[in-house]
Amino acid sequence: MPRPVRLRDFIEDEDGWLYAVSTYDNDERIGCVLRYVPDEQGERVNAEGRHYTKYDFEEAYDLISRRKPQYAGLLHHVPHGDVKRVLKPDHEIGRIAAAHPGVQKLVSLFSLPAGTVGCTGSLLCGLENESSDIDLVVYGRHWFEAQARVREGIRSGRIKKLSGPMWRKVYEKRRPEISYEEFVLHEQRKWNRGQIGGTYFDILYTRSYDEIRRAPAGKGTVIGKMTIEADVTDASLAFDSPAVYEVEHESVSRVLSFTHTYSGQALAGETIEACGVCERHGAELWLVVGTTREARGEYIVSKTLLGHQF
C-alpha cells in the first residue's frame, strides 16, 4: 500500500508542473505550492534534457490564478486524480547523495537509519544548478539527532557556520517583524543550518508517518488579532510546519507558526511574546502566526533569550 503524501514531498501534475507539498492534511486534495513549470526557455534542465522555469511564491500564485484557478487558495490544492507522480525525499536520497558530494557528506556525518533522512527541493526534482542549496529532510525524533550532529560539526570545524553576510542575506529574504540582531540571536542556537563544501544547507523537520494523524489541520473560527506573553510547556514540535508551541496562558493553549522564520524560536520553559491571529478550535484557543504568506505584523520571540542578551 503506498504511503500517504506528506509535507516536503513533491508532486507532478499531468502537465508536468512540480509542486512542493506544504501540509500533512492531504486526504481530499494535496496542499502544495507550485515551484517548477516546463518551459523551453527555462534555465533549469533535468536529466532528460527537459527545461523548466522556477517560480517564486508571488509568481506561482499569479500563474495558478490565471492558468489553473481550480487549484487556487492560501495553498494550491491539487486533486489526487490530477497527480501523475509523487517524489519522496526519503526514497530518492540514495540517488541524490550518489550525485552530490555535499549531500553524501551530510548523510555520512548524520549516520541515521535508512528511511529517516531525505532531500527535497531542486535536488529532489533533478533541477538543481550550481547555486542550489541542500534542503535535507529528517523525519520524527531523528531530526534532533541530526541537529546535534550539526552543532558538533560546527564546533569541530567539519561544518562551516554561516558568515555575517550570509545571515544578512537570509534576514533580507525572510523580512521578519523583528530586528536583525534579534533574528540572528534566535537563529544561531537552532543548529539547523550551515555550509558543507561551500554549499548552504538546512535540516528540515517532518513528522514520521505514525505521527501525521496528530498534526494540526483546518482553520478555526477567527477571534481576532492578539499579542500574548506565555510560558512554553512543550516545544517538541517547534521545528515542524506548522511549528507548535504548547503554552501556559490564561486563554490560549498553543501557538502555531506557519512561517519557517519562527520555527524553533523558543525552548520549553521559556517565556515567549507572540503576535498573531487568535482562532477557536473546539474548546481551545490557538494563536496563529503566519496567517499570510508575508506574516506582516506577526512574530514570536523568546523573552527569556532576549533577556539574557540585552
Q: What pLDDT digit, counting tens, does each position of 81-112 carry? A: 999 999 999 999 999 999 999 999 999 999 99
> Do 21 and 70 share a domain, yes or no?
yes
> Do 56 and 17 share a domain, yes or no?
yes
> Do 194 and 103 share a domain, yes or no?
yes
Residue percentage of the chain with pLDDT more than 70: 97
The answer to the question of residue 17 being in a domain is: yes
Out of 63, 87, 111, a domain closes at 87
Q: What one-character-per-residue DSSP string does 104-172 give?
A: HHHHHHH-PPTTSEEEETHHHHT---TTPPEEEEEETTHHHHHHHHHHHHHHHTSSBPPPHHHHHHHHH
The answer to the question of residue 139 being in a domain is: yes
**How many domains in the chain?**
3
Amino acid at 16: G
Q: What is the pLDDT of residue 310?
A: 45
292 has pLDDT over 80:
no
- Gap between the Cα atoms of 139 and 110, Å rounded: 13
Amino acid at 266: A
Q: Element (H or E) spanning 247, and its range?
A: strand 243-248
Out of 34, 54, 87, a domain closes at 87
Predicted TM-score (pTM) of the model is 0.92
> Do 65 and 93 share a domain, yes or no?
no
8 has pLDDT over 80:
yes
> Do 80 and 149 share a domain, yes or no?
no
The answer to the question of residue 5 being in a domain is: no
Q: Which of 59-73, 157-171, 260-274 has the lowest mean pLDDT?
A: 157-171
Out of 62, 87, 112, a domain closes at 87
Residue range 231-243: mean pLDDT, rounded: 95
> Do 68 and 137 share a domain, yes or no?
no
Which domain, by its residues, includes 119?
89-209
> Do 94 and 83 share a domain, yes or no?
no
The three-class DSSP label of residue 224 is strand
Q: Element (H or E) spanning 184, and its range?
A: helix 180-188
